[in-house]
């Protein structure tokens, strides 16, 4: 049996709506996003969830999120900016993941809602953690991370075929650090 793979789904950090003239694609991170993106990067590093490959939407807020997250990681990560991830549906995201290089054992996808949240919900199979599923069903807010374990190759991945193990929201980390 193949070694299980990790799929990390990260929603971009909170963006700014200060300039209504900007196209959606060009919106930068807001002050809250600038604080939470590094926080999520440190959490990935703390848990040793280090991606080999990151598929990132080319929108400004996702690129900025990746820059801040990746600065906290101890390993270098191959990054691909995938145009198909901007305004992607769950099916679009699945297609991108299925095309990931087979040698990647840990893949991070950094994208947007509603597609990313829909993808996460549809991907979660029957062996998923109850607490993680409950949190995912509430909402996948900006900056949140869903971690899946997958048995098999990226090319063979289908909806309902992954085990959701964690759903971590930025506020969860802040609460953990306060304790």
Given this model, what pLDDT does residue 30 score? 97
Given this model, what pLDDT does residue 176 score? 58
CATH H-level, domain 5-82+92-126+135-178: superfamily: Phosphoglycerate mutase-like (3.40.50.1240)
Query: What are 132's two structure tokens?
Result: 């993680």
pLDDT digits (tens, 9 = 90+) for 33-90: 999 999 999 999 999 999 999 999 999 999 999 999 999 998 889 999 999 999 999 9
Beta bridge partners of 15: 29
Paired sense of beta strands 145-150 and 163-168, if any: antiparallel
pLDDT digits (tens, 9 = 90+) for 114-154: 999 999 999 999 999 999 999 999 999 999 999 999 999 99
pLDDT digits (tens, 9 = 90+) for 55-65: 999 999 999 99
Domain boundaries, the chain: 5-82+92-126+135-178
DSSP string over the chain: -PPPEEEEEEEPPPBP-S-TTS-GGG--B-HHHHHHHHHHHHHHHHTT---SEEEE--SHHHHHHHHHHHTT-SS--EEEE-GGGTT--HHHHHHHHHTS-TT-SEEEEEE-TTHHHHHHHHHB-TTS-HHHHHHHHH---TT-EEEEEESS-GGG--TT-BEEEEEE-HHHHHHHHH-
């Amino acid at each position: 049996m193949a070694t299980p793979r990790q799929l990390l789904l990260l929603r971009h950090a909170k963006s700014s709506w200060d300039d209504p003239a900007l196209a959606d694609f060009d919106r930068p991170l807001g002050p809250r996003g600038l604080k939470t993106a590094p926080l999520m990067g440190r959490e990935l590093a703390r848990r040793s969830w280090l991606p080999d490959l990151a598929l990132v939407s080319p929108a400004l807020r996702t690129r900025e999120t990746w820059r801040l997250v990746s600065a906290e990681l101890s390993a270098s990560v191959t990054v691909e900016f995938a145009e198909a991830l901007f305004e992607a549906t769950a099916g679009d995201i699945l297609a991108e993941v299925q095309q990931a290089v087979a040698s990647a054992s840990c893949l991070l996808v950094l994208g947007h809602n509603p597609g990313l949240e829909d993808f996460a919900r549809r991907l979660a199979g029957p062996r998923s953690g109850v607490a993680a599923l409950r949190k995912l069903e509430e909402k996948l807010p900006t900056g949140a991370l869903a971690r899946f374990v997958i048995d098999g190759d990226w090319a063979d991945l289908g909806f309902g075929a992954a085990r959701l193990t964690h759903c971590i929201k930025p506020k969860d980390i802040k609460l953990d650090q306060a304790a």
